Homo-oligomer: A and B are copies of this chain.
Amino acid sequence: SSKRKITVAYGDGIGPEIMKATLNILEAAGAQLEYDVIEIGEQVYLKGITSGMEPKSFASLRETKVFLKSPITTPQGGGFKSLNVTTRKSFGLFANVRPCKAYSPFIKTHFPKTDLVIIRENEEDLYAGIEHRQTQEVYQTLKLISQPGSEKIIRYAFEYAKKYGRKKVTCMTKDNIMKLADGLFHKTFDEIAKEYPDIETDHKIIDIGSALIAERPEIFDVIVTLNLYGDIISDIAAQVTGSVGLGGSANVGEEVAMFEAIHGSAPDIAGMNIANPSGLLNGAIMMLVHIGQPEIAEKISNAWMKTLEDGIHTADIYQEGISSKKVGTQEFAQA
């Protein structure tokens, strides 16, 4: 068949219902897909699999190379590892791509002109997971920054800017304090920037950079940064543009890529048909571009925008007197 096989996981909490809504939309738009469904999340952890992923799931990803993933619930304690971190490491998903766009006036925000993309390094930094207890009272964590790792993500950011016609790439580090590690990232950025003379570049210290994302996000275009800083600023950016419930995210490696919503599994509203499927849908749209079905991606994206413009919203976005209709998860997908 000419259908592209992808790995799909329904996850926990609101995961199953937003995945169902998303797959319905993909099908209605004519996406050429076949699904290999794997089980991840709470049930898998509770079987005692601390990595969060069974061997047959690894095998599925190795085969399909594309993973559309719903949010999961990680049980407390028990040494369970974040499934995201497991996947990022096992498959070398070095780039975490998070677009953040305001959809004003349909989605409320103080910053209607925001349209930025955060490209976060996804394997190194304090996420390398090297920690130890030196004495009973002193704990150490190692922050690792490598030249090849920095070069790879920075080049990815510039290529992304070029491909999508973006004008500026901003680098964020704390190299006034970490002169070696963060200094290496900044220096590598300055070197690679020379190869892209048409793209404007800039550097901000992460404290000021974070404050600017909170207060003037519209001044940014593409941002490239270290793992931990990227973790922090992507949550800030999503929050201030009102897109925590709407944002999709891609974790991209040389071979495998994983697509998801940026929000969590929201167990408190699970099964009630009120969750907003937009985050996962936006992840799926990025996936369609990635696997070479960009026309379908555009079609879905336009339909989604049209639904917002028509004022048809799930409860999280709906505003009395402004929106026209409050609907459930499946009805939103239908619209």
**A contact residues vs B (CB 8 Å cutoff):** 82, 85, 110, 126-127, 129, 131-133, 136-148, 174, 176-181, 184, 206-208, 210-215, 228, 231-236, 238-240, 244
Asked if B137 and A147 sit within 8 Å, CB to CB, the answer is: yes
Distance of A249 from chain B, by nearest CB (Å): 13
Asked if B140 and A142 sit within 8 Å, CB to CB, the answer is: yes
Distance of A123 from chain B, by nearest CB (Å): 13
A132 and B82 contact, Cβ closer than 8 Å, known pairs A137-B146, A239-B215: no
User: How many copies of the chain does the oligomer comprise?
Assistant: 2
Asked if B238 and A131 sit within 8 Å, CB to CB, the answer is: no
Specify the chain B residue showing the minimal Cβ separation from A182. B141
Asked if A214 and B240 sit within 8 Å, CB to CB, the answer is: yes
Asked if A180 and B132 sit within 8 Å, CB to CB, the answer is: yes
A126 to B173, CA, bound (A): 13
The residue from B143, B214, B235 contacting A126, defined by CB atoms under 8 A apart: B143
The residue from B136, B181, B210 contacting A232, defined by CB atoms under 8 A apart: B210
Asked if B228 and A215 sit within 8 Å, CB to CB, the answer is: no
Distance of A120 from chain B, by nearest CB (Å): 11
A235 to B240, CA, bound (A): 16
13 contacts between A and B (CB under 8 A): A126-B177, A137-B146, A137-B148, A140-B142, A140-B144, A140-B145, A140-B181, A142-B142, A142-B143, A210-B235, A211-B239, A214-B239, A215-B239
A180 to B141, CA, bound (A): 8
Contact partners of A207 in chain B: CB under 8 A: 231-232, 234-235
Apart from the given pairs A142-B143, A143-B143, 18 other A-B contacts in the complex at a CB distance below 8 Å = A127-B177, A129-B177, A131-B180, A132-B180, A137-B148, A139-B181, A140-B144, A140-B145, A141-B142, A141-B181, A210-B233, A210-B235, A211-B235, A211-B238, A211-B239, A211-B244, A214-B239, A214-B240
Asked if B136 and A147 sit within 8 Å, CB to CB, the answer is: yes
A208 and B181 contact, Cβ closer than 8 Å, known pairs A126-B143, A137-B146, A140-B143: no
Contact partners of A146 in chain B: CB under 8 A: 137-139
Specify the chain B residue showing the minimal Cβ separation from A148. B137
Distance of A138 from chain B, by nearest CB (Å): 5
Specify the chain B residue showing the minimal Cβ separation from A130. B140
Asked if B214 and A232 sit within 8 Å, CB to CB, the answer is: no
